[in-house]
Amino acid sequence: MTRFETLAVHAGREDLTRLGLHAPPIDLSTTYPVTDLDAGTASFDALVGGAASAANPIYARLHNPTVARVENALASLEGTEACVAYGSGMAALTAVLLDARSRGGHVLVVRPLYGTSDHLLASGLCGLETEFVDAGDIAARRRADTALVIIETPANPTLDLVDIRAVVEAAGDVPVLVDSTFATPVLQQPASLGATYVMHSATKFLGGHGDVIAGVICCAEQHAQPLRTVRAATGALLHPLGAYLLHRGLPTLALRVERAQANAVALADRLAAHPAVARVFFPGLGTVRNAHLVGTQMRGPGALMAFDLHGGYDAAAAVMSRVRLMTPAVSLGSVDTLIQHPAGLTHRVVDPQARLASGIGPGLLRLSVGIEQVDDLWNDLAQALEGARLSAVA
């Protein structure tokens, strides 16, 4: 069996030697000549019906060869038959929700999860009734019209872990979507644990350089077909330049995740000992729900953490204003370290009571650790924490 690190380098590039190329090409065509109308009509019908490919791409909203390459690569990394790529992670989630309506009108969701995902689900915009539940209550809350179960593990931003096998068992014949953005296929492969859909905001670790917005759903081919139909109808296809950048980031994925994870382990220990910090949320410290899943469900604790400051909102704002090496910005999974305030930014759209119930308080900061030298990162964070403390005393 080819190992993950090798797959990450070569997946989606299998035909390059035959083509006489070393780097994957970018196909920027918006339309494709139809010289044989019968063949063109057959291709059109196939693509609109959700086929992965056809003899003629016809129109870039229906299919693009550059996008197909990265889809094949990510399916290989997640161990699924297919992958469907979209212009953003939210477009990917929306496609699954729209398809779920054909099975029923009820969705079970475990909090916390990405703030905009929470907002979309709570809004009812996709025509579904969303019920937020604890993972242990899924079996009891499942209904005849339950069309989908959604979890995010590790959870954004508290890093709580959810037992995927247990959720799949509790869901019965209801499909389970796992947002695995924080873990990446380097650390976790939900399809091997029974998940129907594996979702990534590919903007994050998969792209890894902060220069592409993309979302993907990895799944069996039978589930991919209706998702492609939704994508074609809604115009949510990933742009080929984005697909190229995403594909370019994959060969270093394992290296980046492993280095960032090692940095995160070191920073978590130092943060836990700092007097300004009330609590660190990090699977590697055993301070999150179901941390025992590290080593079984997950192959490591990951590169994300959150920490709560004694000084609340003022302390959090002061730290964000004082970091000099780290970037105070939303998003995550880039080669550089990002720090942000969930309650004021990524999760501001979540119901305030639900936000607090999920542990997202005014003093919580989320840290996406990059691949820099760890002592440089700590020196920057330590001076920001100390500056915030002195400011509060003054």
Query: Which residue numbers are catalytic?
Result: 61, 114, 179, 204
Q: Quick check: bond before 112 cis, omega within 30? A: yes
> What SS3 class is residue 150?
strand
And the tokens for 13? 């590039």
210 strand-pairing partners: none
Question: Which helix or strand (DSSP H or E) is residue 93 part of?
Answer: helix 89-100
CA distances from 172 to 46, 107, 131, 176, 189 (A): 32, 14, 17, 9, 20
Residues 6+ apart with CB under 8 A from 47: 54, 57, 58, 62, 63, 228, 232
> How buried is residue 273: exposed, middle or buried, by Cβ count under 10 Å (0-12/13-18/19+)?
exposed
> How buried is residue 330: exposed, middle or buried, by Cβ count under 10 Å (0-12/13-18/19+)?
middle
Q: Residue 48's CB: how many other CB atoms inside 10 A?
A: 15
List the one residue out of 157, 158, 159, 139 whose CA is nearest residue 149.
139
> How buried is residue 332: exposed, middle or buried, by Cβ count under 10 Å (0-12/13-18/19+)?
buried
From edge to edge, which strands make up the β-sheet containing 129-133? 82-86, 215-219, 197-201, 176-179, 146-152, 106-110, 129-133
Question: Which helix or strand (DSSP H or E) is residue 388 part of?
Answer: helix 374-393
The DSSP line for 218-249 is EE-HHHHHHHHHHHHHHT-BPPHHHHHHHHHH
Measured CA to CA, the distance from residue 119 to residue 42 in angstroms comes to 40
> What SS3 class is residue 347?
coil
